[in-house]
Structure 1
């Protein structure tokens, strides 16, 4: 009995224990399932939040890209519409352009592949065949026309000086018309050189002496490459002689005043600085950079003067400090102190030539005098400084130019109108004048001289305006 009761009590205790254990595990499982469900809910809510943020970011990115594409399309559309009228106007102008007789009948745009002339500055229009020891610096005034530029280049290319010197032109501003004119005249010169070399025309009937351009001394053949532009290797012919040693002509380059005088040095002293004055501020930088490359220099106003000979031949045997100026007067009359006692004849400020050192010194002194004169006249009109008057004062001041061997030409430069019988014949192109002046503005110098050039058989085939 006792055993039975004890066994029953033990069975009930085990059963209760079993129930407690069972329900305890069930509770734990339920709590675990609750935690899992909570974690799942949190994960699902976090995932949905992330998906929402991602979709919003993608939507914003798509909107931004769409806006950018739309703005780009609108910009291109506006640019196209803005260029249509100008293109139409240009086409209409070309269609209804009235032909006029100029030195050339075509005005194509200059090529865009023109290289720099020197140290990232200037424009190189033509690279010469060799290094030259002489340099012609021509300046263009504001009133220079395209036809006047062409005329200067045509006569310069015919002169013996073109076979011995480089030509640099200083412009008041950049001009596509000037670029076009220079490029076309360079091409015409090369055609002229080629056709005269291959022609059998009598020497007395030609306007162009090809000898200085083709007959080179040994020293000239070994003079090296020009300093302008990039160095290139010359092509050799079958005989082993390079093409550059068979011909001799100089480089042609142009500079803008903003490149040589970027600060406009005289603007603080003058309200308006014309080209005749500002050019003196350009010479120090330009001539200083090439001072070791050239022995003789010539400065010339290409609107007022034409090169028809070899003017530098008069100073080639002089020293580096020599400077030659030309007196103003009627052609053929000698300048002497007897005719004007106690008075020095006025000289041209538009042309001077000589040794490189003497030319640089005169240019430096002239710039100083321009500044001094403008400061002395502050109470007057600031534009009362005259290039010609200041240059004549400088020439007559022996103390200022004591380091310069100044020479005044005994014969003044002739005008085109005063040449008389020399016009209409080849004598002008073979004359010993070296330089001539355009002179009378009422005289159509362009037509007069170009008609003379067009009268020669070879020349008439080279220039389109001769047809």
Structure 2
């Protein structure tokens, strides 16, 4: 079949025959598909009718001049093409999304579901790890609002490595509930369990500070929880304490100091409102108490050993290095307090009263400083007349002092000389300093995966 044709049409006849436009279009389309023989027969006819001329004119116009109908048809074809492309793209993306690559990027992995920990005590708190037995000492570590996951991680890591957790429980007081802190504590507990497993292998290490010396009662934390299993202990031959955590709202639900401040009570002050209820609840379970700031301090040794021969009313306070040379004035360190349970309770109650008096007397309440209130209390012998207060002559060393000692001697000697240090304002790389000590032993390299 041929698609070509010949037609002779006068110019004034192109727009004629308006009454039969529809017929002309139909005949024009049929004329395109006529065979060559039929076309020759038409040529042999003596004349062409008006309808044939109109049909030829319409066909001619169809190929020469784009009409309204052709424009509509073109737009329809474009729309259909776009829709088809969209459908194809959607199907392609859906197909690709169903494939699981062999190695997914870390950043694309969904966050793990937060772990659910049993309650630590009377339906409150979180029990991160239950100890093997009842302990004589409790470390109460508070985290201020600016404390980071990194600071919490190294606080726990050095505490576990120091051996003090073999004879004491650890209780955290957080300003709010944070799943990221829960994860840090859970990860460090796993590393600690690996460390204990290495210690428990007598072929690797026959002596350790975690060896159980005597039998005692069960840990007070998590007694009512059905999720705690006795078989969770790493080994019956080792001894370690519990790790629990509380939100400040659980220990001070009424926010006792809020009425004395215009808006927000900082954690460094509100923690003192938590101690009376907390220490009153556990007063019969512990002989010794330590209060420590997670952000500012690191426990490298057993500071509680100096309380063995002290009375229950004893409270030991360290001092901070003086910023002025040859200055005899000592500044008490409110971030680290240890002593007998009775003495620390009395100090905490007195500190809470000192904060209330200081805020009421100060015109600008938000400018009340916790170190200032603490130093006023320490220097007030009348209020602390029932407390056997001991102000240590040695200042709390900072990280730069530890680094200097590590350069001249072994790391283990430096850490034993400074059982507690302050991070301070040093620009030293904490990761380098402590990994040099932690990763020096083959056992530590097994316990801590980042060595």
TM-score (norm 2): 0.70
Q: What is the aligned counterpart of 1:407 among 369, 383, 390?
A: 390
Q: Alpha carbons of 1:182 and 1:349: their partners in 2 closer, same or farther (altered >3 Å)?
A: same
Q: What's the counterpart of residue 462 of structure 1?
A: 447
Q: CA RMSD in A?
A: 3.0
CA deviation map 1:408-432 (0-9, x unaligned): 1121121121121426943257513
Distance 1:210 1:177 in 2: 35
The answer to whether 1:385 aligns with 2:385 is no
CA distance in 2, matches of 1:158, 1:165: 13
Alignment match, 2:209:
212
Which portions of structure 1, spanning 4 or more consecutive aligned residues, are displaced by more than 3 angstroms? 94-99, 105-110, 231-236, 242-245, 423-426
Cα pair 1:300 1:351 within 8 Å, conserved = yes
Partner of 1:37: none
* Aligned mates of 1:147, 1:406 — CA distance in 2: 34
2:200 matches 1:197: yes
8 Å CA contact retained: 1:167, 1:250: yes
Q: d(CA) in 1 for partners of 2:152 and 2:413? A: 19
Match of 1:122 in 2: 125
Shift of residue 111, structure 1, vs aligned partner: 1.7
Q: Given the alignment, which residue of 85, 110, 113 partners 2:114?
A: 110
* Cα 1:110/1:456, change in 2 over 3 Å: farther
Q: For residues 450 and 359 of structure 1, what CA distance do their matches in structure 2 show? A: 34
Match of 1:323 among 300, 311, 315: 315
Report the equivalent of 2:5.
none
Q: Match of 2:256?
A: 265
Matched residue, 1:41: none
- Alpha-carbon separation, structure 1, partners of 2:247 and 2:426: 27
In the alignment, is the contact (CA less than 8 A) between 1:108 and 1:180 conserved in 2?
no
Whether the 8 Å CA contact 2:312–2:341 is kept in 1: the answer is yes
Counterparts of 1:297-336 in structure 2, within 5 Å, are 297-329=289-321
Flag the 1:108–1:98 CA change in 2: closer, same or farther, 3 A.
Answer: closer
Distance between the aligned counterparts of 2:208 and 2:167, measured in 1?
Answer: 12
Q: Which residue of the partner structure matches residue 432 of structure 1?
A: 417
Gaps of 5+ in 2: 1-96
User: In the superposition, relative to structure 1, how do residues 177 and 428 fare at CA in structure 2: closer, same or farther (>3 Å)?
Assistant: farther
Could you tell me how far 1:255 is from its partner in structure 2?
A: 0.4
Report the secondary structure of 1:411's partner residue: strand
Aligned twin of 2:280: 288
Change in 2 beyond 3 A, CA 1:154/1:440: same
Structure 1 residues 154 and 235: CA distance shift in structure 2, 3 A: closer
Structure holding more helix per residue: 1
| Maintained 8 Å contact 1:148/1:446 | no
| SS at 2:285 equivalent | coil
TM-score by length of 1: 0.68
Residues 1:389 and 1:124: Cα distance change in structure 2 (over 3 Å): same
Q: Which residue of 1 aligns with 2:159?
A: 156
Task: State the 1:344 CA deviation.
Answer: 4.6
Flag the structure with more relative contact order, 1 or 2, with Cα contacts below 8 A and sequence separation at least 6.
Answer: 1
Residue 228 (1) aligns with residue 231 (2): no
The count of aligned residue pairs is 344
CA contact (8 A) 1:234 1:244 kept: no
Residue 147 (structure 1) aligned to one of 135, 147, 150: 150
SS at structure 1 position matched to 2:257: helix
Q: The residue matched to 1:372 in structure 2 has which SS?
A: helix
Please point out which of 422, 429, 448 is paired with 2:406.
422
Whole-Å separation in 1 of the counterparts to 2:107 and 2:113: 19
Offset, 1:210: 5.6
Q: CA deviation at 1:247?
A: 1.1
The answer to whether the aligner puts 1:174 opposite 2:159 as a matched pair is no
After superposition, where does 1:38-187 map in structure 2 within 5 Å? Answer: 108-112=112-116, 114-187=117-190
